Amino acid sequence: MDINAILQMLHANRFEAASVILFVVGLGGMLFNRSLFKKVVSMGFMDSAIFLFLTSAGYVEGRLAPIIADPAVTATMEVYSHPLPAGLVLTGIVVSVSFTAFGLALTQRLYKKYHSLNIDEIMMQAQKSED
């Protein structure tokens, strides 16, 4: 593919492209931020990016959300968009909530103990108090 075709595809797949960028922002945030709190937030970024990607995989131009309006009419595939990705996103969101809570709980304990959110400083103090 030449560069023009790639740019065109990126434009067409702009939601996927955005999700990829968000994912890398989250990843970078996790690697660069020294603050534990911001690391937890970056974690949320990464998860949301994946949800955006999955949701856009389920979208089909011009189709309705997969909830049958009238049970009497037989549903056909041409009317509704793909329901599976929505289910996966729901699962992912719940997992992400649990992890955020867990990460924040750890952060709170560390803050209580070391009075800092900076991971380097916390690690230094923990190293010192060892043994």
Partner 1 sequence: MKTPVWYQKLLRWTEGDSPVLPEPAAHREQTREPAAEESAYESGPGLLSASAGRVRNVLLRVITIASCAVFLLIMLATVAYLPRFGDADNAPENETSRRYIEQGMQEVGATNLVTNIILVYRGFDTYGESCVLFLGATAVIMLLAVDAKNTTEEDRRVLARSDALDRENRNQILGHITTILMPVILLYGLYILCNGHLSPGGGFAGGSILGGALILCENGYGVGKVHSFFGHRIYHVVKVGALILYAVLICYTIYVGANGLPNVIPLGKPGSILSAGIILPINVAVGLEVACTMYAFYTYFGRGDL
Partner 2 sequence: MRLFYENYPFFCVFISLLCGILTTLIHDGKKARALTLAMLAVCAVLNGVVCFSTAARGVSFTYSMGAFPAPWGNELRSGPVEALLATVFCLVMGFSLLGGEADLKEDILPEKQNLYYIMMDLLAASLFALCFTNDMFTGYVFIEINTIAACSIVMAKDSGQTIVATIRYLMMSLVGSGVFLFGVSMLYTITGHLLMPSLFPAVTRLFRTGAYQYPLAVLAGMMCVGLAVKSALFPFHTWLPTAHGSATTASSAVLSGVVLKGYIILLIKVMCRVFTPEEIGSLGVGSVLLVLGACAMIYGSIWAVREPHAKRMIAYSSVAQVGYIYLGLGLCTTAGMAAAIFQIIAHAFTKPLLFVSTGGLIDASGHQKKLYYLRGAGRRCPMAGVGFTVGGLSMVGLPLLAGFVTKLVLGRAALAEGIPSWQMILSLTAIAISSLLNAWYYLPAILQIWKGGEAPAGPGGEAYVHGPYEACLSFRIAVVCMSVVVVLLGCFAQPLMELITRGVALL
Q: Under rule CB under 8 A, which residues in 12-31 are in contact with partner 1?
A: 12-17, 20-21, 23-24, 27-28, 31
Site string for partner 1, 68-107 (x = CB under 8 A): xx-x--xxxxxxx-xxxxxx--xx-xxx-xxx-xx-xxx-
Residue whose pair of structure tokens reads 């803050």 in the numeric block? 111
Residue from 79, 90, 96, 10 nearest 54 by CA: 90
| Tokens read off for 52 | 């955006």
Q: In this structure, what are the phi and psi dihedrals at residue 62, rounded to the nearest 5 degrees?
A: 80, 5
Is there a contact between 51 and 118 (Cβ–Cβ < 8 Å)?
no
Interacting residues with partner 2 between 96 and 115 (CB under 8 A): 98-99, 102-103, 106-107, 109-110, 113-114
117 binds partner 2 (CB under 8 A): no
Site string for partner 1, 54-73 (x = CB under 8 A): --xxxxxx---xxxxx-x--
Using a 10 angstrom Cβ sphere, with 0-12 exposed, 13-18 middle and 19 or more buried, the burial of residue 44 is middle
Instruction: Report how many residues bind partner 1 under the rule CB under 8 A.
Output: 78
Q: What number of CA atoms fall less than 13 Å from residue 61's CA on the CB side?
A: 2
Provide the binding-site residues for partner 2, judged by CB under 8 A. Answer: 23, 26-27, 30, 36, 39, 43, 46-47, 50, 53-54, 57, 84-85, 88, 91-92, 95, 98-99, 102-103, 106-107, 109-110, 113-114, 119, 122-123, 125-126, 129-131
